[in-house]
């Protein structure tokens, strides 16, 4: 792989969050408070210090098992965490070649590019399709801003692998070409495909149509879809898999809505019921999973902030005001966020700062 051009390592002067007049769209007065700006700045400073010399961010590489997290590798360069960290810096207006964190993004990007295989599968240190999708999303956002040919070529390979890996159910699973699928993996792929399609990468309409059908088959419409001990009324939720006996949950519902949004579906009974469910069960979910920043908490809010932001209006205001205050209370004195069950504090800090920066409206995939 050729080194990323030195020109993209140039740093702009200044630091911290971008001034409002430099953002693509002015936020509402209640969206970005001085407390949010300080919290984001402290989080990004901590994340910048945590980058490894090779450009990656480390984490516990593993997988979810019930409510736990089974580690495979400890404190290893983590593809998904690196991609999320780079996107968090980009959410504040930084890109390779511009902004106080330009060098951090460029180094992270170079490491991600080195992980793209000839087949298009982006993989490092036992990572799986979750991480492939986050890395593909990062490449799409970078390519849309820089049009760098190496990024475009490897992005095309990654997208082709994703398209080929869609199974007969219309979804995706932990590994490419798996025969079954689940909502958590499917949403990652659809969001990445949407970002790629938005910048001109060809994505067949049939791929998107099959993903829409998969998600619709996972919707709970009668209140009897879930088995979570923490959620009472399951109407409007989405299941982990489309089987009637599969569980449903708050994070999976956020994922289902974001999948539909990514596929271009913004209205309908399933959308409305899902948004009502997210608002109805948000406080219960956060109360149960925010202590020590459980993986479910970060996963759920990573997608919920996107779903509620796209919905706008009272859904967005109710969600962001409450979540913003909760995240600021959870921030540690050193600027990081905890993640006792999951990849670790680099993951949590990347997600928390991403959520808080959604109103900056820089990343195209997170714009209305």
Sequence spans of domains, the chain: 115-210, 218-323
Q: Which tokens go with 293?
A: 């920043």
CA 175 and chain centroid, separation: 18
pLDDT in tens, 70-125: 888 999 999 999 999 999 999 999 998 899 999 999 999 999 999 999 999 999 98
Q: Is the pTM of this model over 0.95?
A: no
Nearest-10 Cα torsion for 92, 28, 188, 322: 110
> What residues form DSSP beta bridges with 95?
98
- Tokens 């829409």 sit on residue: 212
- Tokens 């997608």 sit on residue: 303
pLDDT in tens, 4-43: 443 343 333 233 344 444 444 556 778 989 999 999 999 9
**The pLDDT of residue 230:** 45
Contact 176, 165 (CB under 8 A): yes
């Amino acid at each position: 792989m050729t080194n990323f051009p030195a020109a993209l390592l140039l740093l702009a002067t200044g630091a911290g969050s971008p001034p409002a007049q430099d953002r693509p769209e002015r936020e509402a007065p209640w969206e970005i408070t001085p407390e949010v700006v300080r919290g984001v700045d402290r989080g990004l400073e901590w994340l910048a210090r945590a980058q490894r010399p090779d450009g990656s961010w480390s984490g516990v590489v593993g997988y979810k098992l019930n409510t736990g997290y089974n580690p495979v590798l400890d404190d290893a360069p983590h593809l998904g965490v690196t991609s999320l960290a780079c996107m968090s810096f980009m959410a504040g207006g930084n890109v390779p070649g511009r902004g106080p964190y330009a060098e951090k993004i460029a180094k992270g990007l170079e490491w991600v590019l080195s992980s793209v295989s000839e087949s298009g599968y982006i993989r490092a240190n036992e990572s799986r399709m979750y991480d492939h999708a986050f890395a593909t999303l990062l490449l799409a956002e970078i390519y849309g801003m820089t049009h760098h040919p190496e990024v475009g070529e490897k992005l095309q390979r990654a997208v082709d692998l994703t398209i080929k890996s869609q199974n007969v159910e219309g979804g995706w699973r932990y590994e490419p070409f798996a025969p079954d699928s689940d909502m958590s993996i499917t949403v990652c792929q659809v969001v990445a495909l949407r970002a790629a399609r938005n910048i001109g990468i060809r994505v067949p309409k049939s791929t998107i149509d099959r993903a829409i059908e998969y998600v619709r088959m996972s919707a709970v419409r009668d209140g009897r879809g879930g088995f979570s001990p923490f959620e009472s009324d399951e109407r409007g939720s989405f299941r982990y898999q489309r089987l009637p006996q599969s569980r449903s949950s708050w994070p999976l519902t956020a994922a289902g809505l974001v999948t539909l949004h990514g596929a271009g579906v913004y209205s309908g009974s399933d959308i409305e019921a899902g948004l009502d469910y997210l608002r109805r069960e948000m406080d219960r979910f956060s109360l149960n999973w925010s202590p020590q920043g459980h993986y479910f908490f970060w996963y759920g809010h990573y997608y919920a902030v996107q779903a509620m932001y796209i919905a706008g209006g009272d859904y967005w205001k109710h969600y962001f005001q409450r979540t913003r205050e909760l995240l600021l209370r959870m921030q540690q004195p050193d600027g990081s966020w905890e993640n006792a069950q999951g990849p670790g504090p680099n993951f949590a800090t990347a997600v928390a700062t991403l959520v808080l920066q959604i109103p900056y409206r820089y990343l195209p995939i997170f714009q209305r």
